Structure 1
Amino acid sequence: MLRRVYKRIVAGAALFTVELIFVWLLFLVCIIGFLYIGAEILQGDKMGIDAAAFAFSKDIASPFIDQLIKFITFFASRQFLTPAALLLVAYFVFVRKHRWYSLKVPVIALGSITLNLVLKFFFDRPRPVMPLVEAAGLSFPSGHSMVAASFYGLIIYLVWRHVRPYAWRNVLAALLAIFVLLIGFSRIYLRVHYATDVLAGFSAGFLWVIIGIWALQRLERLSKKELDPVVEEETVA
């Protein structure tokens, strides 16, 4: 019996350590990646990955791929994400009744959109010429990619925390991560963003979701520490 408990504790500690290392590595990669790409854009340098990505998109282009890409990119549009976020909030408010999860959705979604607008204004990069669909505004970083990384990144976090068995959790998390990558590629294929816009959007989006989850978890712990003594005093009285 004690051996089983010991094994579970060791396995849990090992899993927590691996997850923590992964999050920190992702955090550092996103910071370094965004700063590097941002510095190159501010200097006006052209990066070979942009031309290579456009060339690859042109090579695989077809009417079927056109329709598939437009379908994929829809899932990071305002028309889809607004009702999806509202439904997710309603689920946590009325079904799961988890107040802090219901806060995470709007904080991360609205914060990501706001941060993206600020970054676009700061870098002031025009969009590529001859896009395949209409797109307004500036180019860097990609709004679709950034919002997709933050919104679906939050869903990956929720899946990782709550879906069991572990095999299903891993599969769902992997599929969501691939879907985020496809959304980013859709913006390149449609020529509304450069590859560097998309990579920077991913970096900023994942950074935001990591910071947002960490900050809200800290607030949740602090609120519980403040409320628990009050509840205990009222119970004793």
Structure 2
Amino acid sequence: MVRRFYRRLVAASALFTVELLIVWGLFLVCIVAFLYISSEVMEGGNIKFDEAAFGFAKDISNPALSQFIKIVTFFASRQFLTPAALLLVAYFLFIRKHRWYSLKVPVVALGSISLNLVLKFFFDRERPGNQLVESSGLSFPSGHSMVAASFYGLLIYLVWHNVKDKTLRNMLIALLVIFVFLIGFSRIYLRVHYATDVVAGFAAGFLWVVIGIGTLRRIERVTKKEVAPVVEEETPA
């Protein structure tokens, strides 16, 4: 019994350490990436990375891929993410009954959108020309990429903590990561954003996920008002 408890304790500690290292590593990489790219953008002029990305997208373009890209980019649009976020909130409020999870969804989603608008206003970068679809507003950082990184990053967090089957969990996380990168590439392919817009959007979006979830988890622990996923029945007095 003691040996089994010790093994579980060691396994839990190892999992916590791995998770902490991944989170801190992602946090530092995102900060460095965003600061470096934003400094390049502020200097103005053409950035070789942007031109190379546009060149690659042009080389592989074809009608079938263009149609697929338009479908992919829809999954980071306001028309999709708004009802998706509301459904996720309803699920954690009324079905799974985990109110802290239901709070994380709007904090991550609304916070990401608000932060993106502030950053766009600050950097004031115009969008590239010759767009394949109509798009308005400023360019840096990419709103689709930033919101996709935040929303699907939150889904990755939820999958990591709630899917028990290791194979299924890893497969879902891999698919979500690939999907986020596809959304970012779709913005370059459609020429509505520079590649640096997309990378900066990813960095800012993932940063917001880490900060938002970390802050809410700390509040959850301090207030001691965590609502368990399974609501316990009240015992008669």
Q: What's the TM-score once normalised by structure 1's chain length?
A: 0.93
**Aligned residue number for residue 90 of structure 2:** 90
**Aligned residue number for residue 74 of structure 1:** 74
Q: Hey, what's the Cα distance between the residues in 1 that align with 2:225 and 2:155?
A: 27
**Aligned residue number for residue 210 of structure 2:** 210
**Aligned residue number for residue 168 of structure 1:** 168
Q: Which amino acid counterpart does residue 174 of structure 2 have in structure 1? A: A
**Aligned residue number for residue 38 of structure 2:** 38
1:141 aligns with 2:141: yes
Q: Which amino acid counterpart does residue 29 of structure 1 have in structure 2? A: V
**Cα distance, 1:19 vs structure 2:** 1.1
Q: Hey, what's the Cα distance between the residues in 2 that align with 1:171 and 1:9?
A: 26
**Cα distance, 1:99 vs structure 2:** 1.1
Q: Secondary structure at the match of 1:110?
A: helix
Q: Which amino acid counterpart does residue 4 of structure 1 have in structure 2? A: R
Q: Hey, what's the Cα distance between the residues in 1 that align with 2:166 and 2:198?
A: 30
After TM superposition, the structure 1 = structure 2 runs for residues 1-237 of structure 1, keeping only pairs within 5 Å, are: 1-224=1-224
**Cα distance, 1:167 vs structure 2:** 1.1
**Cα distance, 1:45 vs structure 2:** 4.1
**Cα distance, 1:46 vs structure 2:** 2.7
Q: Which amino acid counterpart does residue 188 of structure 1 have in structure 2? A: I
Unaligned runs of 5+ in 1: 227-237
- Runs of 4 or more above 4 Å deviation: none
Q: Which amino acid counterpart does residue 149 of structure 2 have in structure 1? A: A
**Cα distance, 1:97 vs structure 2:** 1.2
Over the aligned positions, Cα root-mean-square deviation in angstroms equals: 1.6
Deviations 1:114-165 (A, max 9, x none): 0000000000000000100000100000000000000000000000000011
User: How many corresponding residue pairs?
Assistant: 228
Q: Secondary structure at the match of 2:192?
A: coil
Unaligned runs of 5+ in 2: 227-237
**Cα distance, 1:9 vs structure 2:** 1.6
Q: Hey, what's the Cα distance between the residues in 2 that align with 1:49 and 1:36?
A: 13
User: Relative to structure 1, is the Cα distance of residues 159 and 45 closer, same or farther in structure 2, using a 3 angstrom cutoff?
Assistant: same
**Aligned residue number for residue 234 of structure 2:** none
Q: Hey, what's the Cα distance between the residues in 2 that align with 1:197 and 1:204?
A: 10
**Aligned residue number for residue 233 of structure 1:** none
Q: Hey, what's the Cα distance between the residues in 2 that align with 1:46 and 1:164?
A: 47
Q: Which amino acid counterpart does residue 211 of structure 2 have in structure 1? A: I
Q: What's the TM-score once normalised by structure 2's chain length?
A: 0.93
Q: Which amino acid counterpart does residue 7 of structure 1 have in structure 2? A: R
Q: Hey, what's the Cα distance between the residues in 1 that align with 2:109 and 2:32?
A: 23
Q: Hey, what's the Cα distance between the residues in 2 that align with 1:160 and 1:110?
A: 22
